[in-house]
Chains A and B, each alone.
Chain A
């Protein structure tokens, strides 16, 4: 009885893939309208500005998932598509099953990555890290506390730094 429930739960959990698929969405493909159609009105919408010329480069749509829990989808003004994703929600998982809330050491083992320092506070498990993609699990106090995916057209000038 329990197994089908677990499988059902795993089946519905949105998965963040290294190639940019985030649940039903996809980096550089999904539009803001599609996000709103699927998730409804965001709890908050912020503009993201270029740090150099102060132009608006994107919009960050934040959805709340409980106390201290939020998921933010950033949409690039240039492409009109989803550019970045950040979440602290334990519902989201990676392909290998890591998710916010689990032990950082266990997540590192699952991902086959070491926990290393990054530009921000805490440790990162670098799931995908190249010139155009930054997909990391962030860890603090021994627990995974978030998932971040910055795509090729990230609205964040400094990336994760």
Chain B
């Protein structure tokens, strides 16, 4: 393939320049490895016309992971026939039982949870911040932009489950297992026969429960931190039971606001549950469906 010597030259140039430890340690593939890696790529990628194709491959030092990127041919410009095939992303493949499989496709460093060797590429800790300053923000799900379940799916991906909450016909409990996140979406308006899970544009965020240790608040309080840290980060926090949510919940009220309901009760917009002196979860209560 015409691109190989150029890629190697490029890598060699990067080595020479000392660009990052990743570039220093990953190696070009052997011809056998290259053939096996290319064979594992999606058909649409392999079907790109050869004149538009330049494949760069690096293999990790342990030989178990490969990075595959492609660039437009040199001199290619916007609007030319190859532009349609251009992409700024890359694939990470993992070798298992002598076969390569794609484990990540993207244009930013893969999540650290994939444990891709650092000599191949860096990694990104997932965005796991909960904030209630300007409307609730749960990772990349911003309720100020789109508070519906459809908005959450767009931001966080396909959920692992969705179920109607018993006794509350227009409330759905939606779970993203990988994120250790459960959110309740609801409406007091019309719900079609299929229930709230089948009406993702009609139901809006009621509350979110995050239990994974990666979740943190805007002030840096993580799940798993001590209650002492909680009290130092949120000096005005106090412990109380909240009974007006979908289910009663006891915990530390970190951020409190006045409800819009006529009785003007206090709502823990951000709450931390704790057990044995440790924070076990973070809860966001926004009740956007109304009260």
Chain A residues engaging chain B, CB cutoff 8 angstroms: 19-20, 27-29, 76, 78-79, 114, 116-123, 126, 129-132, 139-142, 151-153, 161
Contact = CB atoms under 8 A, between A and B. Distances in A.
Given A121-B198, A122-B198, A130 B192 contact: no
B19 interface: no
Interface in B79-123: 83-85, 89, 105-106
B150 A119 contact: yes
A116 B106 contact: no
B263 interface: no
B43 interface: yes
Interface residues of B, number: 29
A76 B83 CA distance: 13
Contact of A122 (B43, B160, B194): B194
A28 B162 contact: no
A7 to B, nearest CB: 28
A78 B89 CA distance: 18
Contacts of B193: 141
23 contacts: A19-B43, A20-B43, A29-B47, A78-B84, A116-B160, A116-B161, A116-B162, A116-B197, A117-B159, A117-B200, A118-B153, A118-B200, A119-B153, A121-B199, A123-B197, A139-B198, A141-B192, A141-B194, A142-B194, A151-B44, A161-B150, A161-B153, A161-B154
Contacts of B159: 116-117
B194 A76 contact: no
Interface in B268-283: none
B42 interface: yes
Given A117-B172, A152-B42, 5 more contacts: A76-B84, A79-B85, A118-B200, A120-B150, A130-B105
B149 A117 contact: yes
Nearest to B84: A78
A121 B192 contact: yes
A27 B107 CA distance: 23
A131 B44 contact: no
Contacts of A131: 89, 105-106
Contacts of B84: 76, 78-79, 153
A29 B43 CA distance: 11
Contacts of B106: 131
Among B153, B160, B162, which residue has the most Cβ atoms of chain A within 10 A?
B153
B68 interface: no
A110 B105 CA distance: 28
B37 interface: no
B105 A120 contact: no
Contacts of A161: 150, 153-154
Contacts of B42: 132, 152
A119 B174 CA distance: 14
A20 B44 contact: yes
Interface string B37-52: 0000011100100000
B162 A117 contact: yes
B258 interface: no
Contacts of A20: 43-44
B158 interface: yes
A12 to B, nearest CB: 25
A103 B159 CA distance: 22
A120 B200 contact: yes
Contacts of A78: 83-84
Contacts of B260: none
A140 B194 contact: yes
Interface in B159-205: 159-162, 172, 174, 192-194, 197-201
